[in-house]
A and B are shown apart, each in its own frame.
Chain A
């Protein structure tokens, strides 16, 4: 556990260019870490740990093969409560960074969603129409919201990595 945390913090110093050059990640970060050859583990971990980037609006984006998958963080889904409806954009819709692209309705409120990047929507998670609770049950995996192109990769630099996001959440409680 401690080793994983150490790797994640180290990656804060790694250039995002590393992500662009690496081959697309197919399986979850944690599994690959354990399976990787110890000699290669540092670079593998760095590629995977920087894969999840966070906004201060509690959305995350995972970059795989030039496509960003977007969802909301565990912190966000806990604050939201049970999601009863996901209002998502259309495929093909162009989004600017920070532009409102939809809303999640829970018993608490309608919470707006803000695009972490500039790009075009390539896919929306149609499962959520039938099972909006997936956002609560599996916010990082099957509860993803949209996939989009990344028109301006430099925008990723401005987003928080795992470590920074954890610190950010802690600061909100103060």
Chain B
């Protein structure tokens, strides 16, 4: 598969060379090629840059009479669906410890773990030509082209199963004004231990109408056949895409941080990175949970009730037995949390302030510290 960089494509396209004015954006170059099918591959492994590129293509490229395939993979990240609740879907503590970012995509569907062993495929079309079955057929045919005996099948839910049992691909989609995109993952050689660790939610007692993931047992294609690596698979899918749709497109490399070719993309990436989008767009939910508080001499059960809207704590009631901790302290803590983000960093700052106000009493201090730590842990 011939690989070209975006600048090569530009130089080789005569029309583009003639009009080498300041405004040779990606969409202009694409229009000038006159091609009805294009394959792009990202040089970035940053989830936010790549999601922003999807949005950019969707918004700026004329997809009425054209289709595009976008190939990308990311450094470790957890990606939730548009209307999901991250506290319900993943282990935010482990993610923070390991520096794994949370991203919220604009398409629907469930939560997935990305790393460099996972290939992402985005099929851009007009709304009229939106056809997930056909797109997944490209993927399964590409895999069978590499290994004719492989049992890979798309299901009604648009998952792809290996040997009828293990999920190797999940699908999500977005329908916009006139265009649509369907993207799917493909597990080649992902870190399955890390995947299991981050997709295990730790926050208990959540009541929410957010869309929920359907957990499935997964497997890597590499487990099935050690010669199937990401690059081989991406090449095969690109080739099959051309065959299926009658295109003859080489794979063109794109840099999603290139503001000149993709004007406005950096703002789009910033929007996707912002807390207001990743956490703040969580549908309204409540947490109602009981937890244990221990110290050297005693144990008790405390309850926490919170209502959260747009990621902000709207109401909070933390109840601790009065013989374990003075009621004023837990009440003070509850009151200070209201109006703040459901965020461990903010909550730790509030807790630290409160702890400073406690009169010199080591036991009380330790109990209060335990309570604060337990509440922060939930976030």
Give chain A's interface residues, CB within 8 Å of chain B.
Answer: 57, 84-85, 87, 103, 105-112, 114, 129-130, 172
Contact B108 A105 (CB under 8 A): yes
Contact B173 A110 (CB under 8 A): yes
**B354 at the binding interface (Cβ < 8 Å):** no
User: Which residue of A106, A108, A129, A172 is within 8 Å of B209 (Cβ)?
Assistant: A129
How many angstroms between the C-alpha atoms of A105 and B81 in the bound complex?
10
How many angstroms between the C-alpha atoms of A112 and B106 in the bound complex?
10
Q: What is the 8 Å Cβ interface bit string for chain B, positions 101-112, against chain A (1 contact, 0 not)? A: 000001111000
Contact B177 A114 (CB under 8 A): yes
Closest 4 CB pairs of A and B: A109-B173, A110-B108, A105-B108, A111-B175
User: Which residue of A87, A112, A129, A172 is within 8 Å of B177 (Cβ)?
Assistant: A112
User: Which residue of A85, A111, A112 is within 8 Å of B211 (Cβ)?
Assistant: A85
When distances are taken between beta carbons in the complex, the residues of chain B under 8 Å from A107 are 157
Contact B177 A85 (CB under 8 A): no
Minimum distance in angstroms from B135 CB to a CB of chain A:
12
User: Which residue of B82, B128, B130 is within 8 Å of A105 (Cβ)?
Assistant: B82
**B174 at the binding interface (Cβ < 8 Å):** yes
Give chain B's interface residues, CB within 8 Å of chain A.
Answer: 81-83, 106-109, 128, 130, 157, 172-177, 180, 182, 209-211, 283-284
A85 to B, closest residue via Cβ: B83
Contact B108 A109 (CB under 8 A): yes
| 10 sampled A-B residue pairs with Cβ under 8 A | A85-B209, A85-B283, A87-B83, A103-B83, A105-B108, A106-B108, A109-B107, A110-B106, A111-B174, A129-B209
When distances are taken between beta carbons in the complex, the residues of chain A under 8 Å from B284 are 129
Interface core residue of B128, B157, B176, B284 (most chain A CB under 10 Å): B176
Interface core residue of A57, A108, A129 (most chain B CB under 10 Å): A108
How many angstroms between the C-alpha atoms of A173 and B182 in the bound complex?
22
When distances are taken between beta carbons in the complex, the residues of chain B under 8 Å from A111 are 174-175
User: Which residue of B82, B157, B210 is within 8 Å of A103 (Cβ)?
Assistant: B82
How many angstroms between the C-alpha atoms of A87 and B128 in the bound complex?
24
Minimum distance in angstroms from A145 CB to a CB of chain B:
15
Contact A109 B283 (CB under 8 A): no
When distances are taken between beta carbons in the complex, the residues of chain B under 8 Å from A57 are 177
Interface core residue of B128, B130, B173 (most chain A CB under 10 Å): B173
Contact B175 A105 (CB under 8 A): no
When distances are taken between beta carbons in the complex, the residues of chain B under 8 Å from A84 are 211
When distances are taken between beta carbons in the complex, the residues of chain B under 8 Å from A172 are 128
How many angstroms between the C-alpha atoms of A112 and B58 in the bound complex?
13
How many angstroms between the C-alpha atoms of A129 and B283 in the bound complex?
9
When distances are taken between beta carbons in the complex, the residues of chain A under 8 Å from B157 are 107
How many angstroms between the C-alpha atoms of A170 and B172 in the bound complex?
29
Known interface pairs A85-B209, A85-B211, A129-B209. Does A109 touch B174 (Cβ–Cβ under 8 Å)?
yes
A109 to B, closest residue via Cβ: B173
How many angstroms between the C-alpha atoms of A103 and B284 in the bound complex?
16
When distances are taken between beta carbons in the complex, the residues of chain A under 8 Å from B175 are 108-112
How many angstroms between the C-alpha atoms of A106 and B130 in the bound complex?
15
How many angstroms between the C-alpha atoms of A172 and B172 in the bound complex?
25
Interface core residue of A105, A108, A109 (most chain B CB under 10 Å): A109
Contact B209 A112 (CB under 8 A): no
How many angstroms between the C-alpha atoms of A143 and B128 in the bound complex?
25
Interface core residue of A57, A103, A130 (most chain B CB under 10 Å): A103
When distances are taken between beta carbons in the complex, the residues of chain A under 8 Å from B109 are 110
Contact A110 B209 (CB under 8 A): no
When distances are taken between beta carbons in the complex, the residues of chain A under 8 Å from B82 are 87, 103, 105, 110
When distances are taken between beta carbons in the complex, the residues of chain A under 8 Å from B174 are 109-112
How many angstroms between the C-alpha atoms of A111 and B182 in the bound complex?
12
Contact A109 B180 (CB under 8 A): yes
B176 to A, closest residue via Cβ: A112
A132 to B, closest residue via Cβ: B209
Minimum distance in angstroms from A124 CB to a CB of chain B:
12
Contact B173 A130 (CB under 8 A): no
When distances are taken between beta carbons in the complex, the residues of chain B under 8 Å from A105 are 81-83, 108, 211
How many angstroms between the C-alpha atoms of A109 and B182 in the bound complex?
8
A131 to B, closest residue via Cβ: B209
Contact B177 A110 (CB under 8 A): no
How many angstroms between the C-alpha atoms of A87 and B107 in the bound complex?
12
B105 to A, closest residue via Cβ: A110
When distances are taken between beta carbons in the complex, the residues of chain B under 8 Å from A129 are 209, 283-284
Interface core residue of B81, B157, B174, B175 (most chain A CB under 10 Å): B175
A57 to B, closest residue via Cβ: B177
Minimum distance in angstroms from A35 CB to a CB of chain B:
39
Contact A108 B173 (CB under 8 A): yes
How many angstroms between the C-alpha atoms of A129 and B109 in the bound complex?
17
How many angstroms between the C-alpha atoms of A122 and B121 in the bound complex?
40
B182 to A, closest residue via Cβ: A109
